[in-house]
Amino acid sequence: MALVVQKFGGTSVADIERIRNVARRVAKTYDKGDDVVVILSAMAGETDKLIGMAHTISENPNRRELDVLLATGEQTTSALLAMLLTEMGYPAESLLGHQADVVTDCDYGNARILEIGASRLRQLIQKRHIVVVAGFQGCDVKGNITTLGRGGSDTSAVAIAAALEADVCEIYTDVDGIYTADPNVCAKARKLKEISYDEMLNMASLGAKVLQIRSVGFAKKYNIPVHVRSSFSEEEGTMVVNEDSGMEQLVVSGVTHNKDEARITLRKVPDQPGIAAKIFSPVAEAGILVDMIIQNTRPGGETDLTFTVPKAEFQRAMEIEAQVATEIGAEKVYGDTEIAKVSVIGVGMKNHSGVAAVMFNTLSRENINIMMISTSEIRISCVVEEKYAELAVRVLHTAFGLDSDA
């Protein structure tokens, strides 16, 4: 007998018929004798709909109230599933984030889980109840409702699995596993049998939204095996596991793209000590995350500095840098939102050279210009024009021998 945490994403609970399908799957696991805790997302499109509604009231809705509003999406599906299971004769009960003691910080819209007091969950499991927990939500120490950021139900699931020391956390979604590239972009993408936590952390942070990055962080920290699989088939999916569990180490195991960043350049910046601090401190103070940075030295004691920020923060970052440019005497600030970051990821890169050269040659053959480059031990990222993102993913996928028909 195992303790299984099962999370179902938005498309898996998009309407009553699909929630009924979820109920059948949950019941099947329960009938095998396993204990089941279910984490649900809101119905597909619901969170966007609620955000849209709030934006008809204000461009910048009150963050506390926005979280109260957004949490209703998951409240709805959880109640409906518990209701269906009860109708089917199973002892089921729904719990909202605060009832499951999901304690977070108070960063509305992007709250971090601090701890999960799992005593109520444990009591219900001991009584052989099926507990349905509303994902994506928690509450801060003052009892305010918070949400965990887009895709946050994945994190609810893995964090609850960790708190309960569950045997496995199953993530049911609209694809049947984790692929070498987004299967909706790259038709030749291959399903991976397994992937390491570190590779998945990179894939998630570089654009593969199949798992929220924080969920992978939890899984790695608490060594929770995560099984990503389809809600609509019985097929085995992909296991996200520890690197040293005897898995095959591909040089490149994934290609991702991310269109959520924009680039800002400060032209002809005086090349002096302290200038980078003047440029980056104000954006950091504004809570804006800077990702890639490049600096080019010009003759005559000047440099150009380019960096990327999330698209959502682009306007704010531009305003800040316009002021900085005046203060430090830079010639000009300009920005570009039509960019995409394309990345190749693989733990095998640690012991292989030449990966970067293959990447650059492949992009060059397609006449795709590389605007920025960054690397780490297990990934290489290039910023390219946004319109080439999908093409770049496909040609890199082929170049690294990942195509399903290769």
- 381 near ligand ASP, rule: CB under 6 A: no
Cβ pair 69, 50 in contact under 8 A: yes
Count the site residues for ligand ASP by CB under 6 A: 13
d(CA 348, CA 402): 14
Mask: binding to ligand ASP, 144-183, rule CB under 6 A, as x and -? ------xxxxx-----------------------------
3-class SS at 264?
Answer: strand
Distance of closest approach, residue 210 Cβ to ligand ADP, in angstroms: 4
Pairing status of strand 130-134 against strand 92-95: parallel
- Judged by beta carbon, residue 231 or residue 265, the one nearer ligand ASP is 231
Give me 196's structure tokens.
């390491």
**Least distance from Mg ion to the Cβ atom of residue 208, Å:** 11
- Closest to ligand ADP by CB, 138 vs 237, is 237
Check: CB of residue 121 under 8 Å from CB of residue 186. no
User: Shortest Cβ distance from residue 130 to ligand ADP (Å)?
Assistant: 20
CA distances from 34 to 81, 169, 173, 221 (A): 18, 13, 21, 25
9 in contact with ligand ADP (CB under 6 A): yes
Least distance CB 294 / ligand ADP (angstroms): 26
* From 95, 181, 195, 219, residue interacting with ligand ADP (rule: CB under 6 A): 181
Sheet containing 137-139: order of strands: 113-116, 102-104, 137-139, 145-147
- Provide the minimum distance between the beta carbon of 335 and Mg ion in the complex, in angstroms, as a whole number: 29
Per-residue x/- track, 30-59, ligand ADP (CB under 6 A): -----------x------------------
Choose the stretch contacting Mg ion; rule: CB under 5 A; options: 73-81, 104-112, 144-152, 214-222: 144-152
Q: From CA 303, how far away is CA 362, in angstroms rounded?
A: 30
Residue 11: contacted member of Mg ion, ligand ASP, ligand ADP, none (CB under 5 to 8 Å, by partner type):
ligand ADP
Pattern of binders to ligand ASP over 58-77, x per CB under 6 A? ---------------x----
Q: What, of ligand ADP, Mg ion, ligand ASP, none, does residue 178 touch, CB below 5 to 8 Å by kind? A: ligand ADP
What is the phi/psi pair of residue 337, to 5°? -100, -10
Residue nearer to ligand ASP on the CB measure, 153 or 265? 153
What do you get for the CA distance between the two ends of the chain, in Å? 41
Of 97, 151, 152, 183, the one binding Mg ion (CB under 5 A) is 151
Does 42 contact ligand ASP by CB under 6 A?
yes
- Contacts with 148 (C-beta within 8 Å, 6 or more apart), sequence order: 104, 110, 111, 112, 113, 136, 137, 138, 155, 156, 212, 214
Task: Select 161 or 252, whichever has its Cβ closest to Mg ion.
Answer: 161
Cα-based angle 76, 79, 82 (whole degrees, multiple of 5): 145
How far is residue 50's CA from residue 42's CA, in Å, rounded to a whole number?
Answer: 11
Compute how many residues bind ligand ADP; rule: CB under 6 A. 19
